[in-house]
C-alpha cells in the first residue's frame, strides 16, 4: 500500500525518497544499491485471478544533480 501511495504523491516533500535496493547473492553475500532523492516516474500493478499473484512495476527517476550520492557496495 505504501508503494502505491508514494506513486500517487507528486510535488510535495514526500514525493522524493532515498531508495536502497538489496539483493541476496547467496552464501551470505549481498549487493546493495543506494539512490538518493528518487521519485516515481510510473507505476503499474496487475493481479492474476488464476494464479493469485500480484505484479508491481515501479519505474523510478532521480532528481537532477544527484549522481554523487549513488553508492554501490
Give pLDDT tens digits for 7-57: 777 777 778 889 999 999 999 999 999 988 888 888 888 999 999 998 888
Start-to-end Cα distance in the chain? 29
Structure-block grid coordinates of residue 21:
535496493
Distance, in Å, from the CA atom of 19 to the CA atom of 6, rounded to the nearest integer, reads 12
Q: What is the DSSP string of 34-65?
A: EEEEEEEEEEEEEEETTTTEEEEEEEEEE-TT
Domain locations in the chain as residue ranges: 2-67
- Number of neighbours of residue 27 by Cβ within 10 angstroms: 6
The pTM score is 0.64
Amino acid at each position: 500500500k505504501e508503494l502505491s501511495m508514494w506513486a500517487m504523491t507528486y510535488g510535495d516533500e514526500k514525493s522524493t525518497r532515498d531508495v536502497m535496493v538489496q539483493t541476496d547473492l547467496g552464501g551470505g553475500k549481498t549487493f546493495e544499491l543506494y539512490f538518493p532523492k528518487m521519485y516515481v516516474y510510473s507505476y503499474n500493478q496487475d493481479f492474476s485471478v488464476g494464479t493469485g499473484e500480484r505484479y508491481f512495476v515501479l519505474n523510478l527517476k532521480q532528481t537532477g544533480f544527484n549522481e554523487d550520492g549513488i553508492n554501490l557496495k
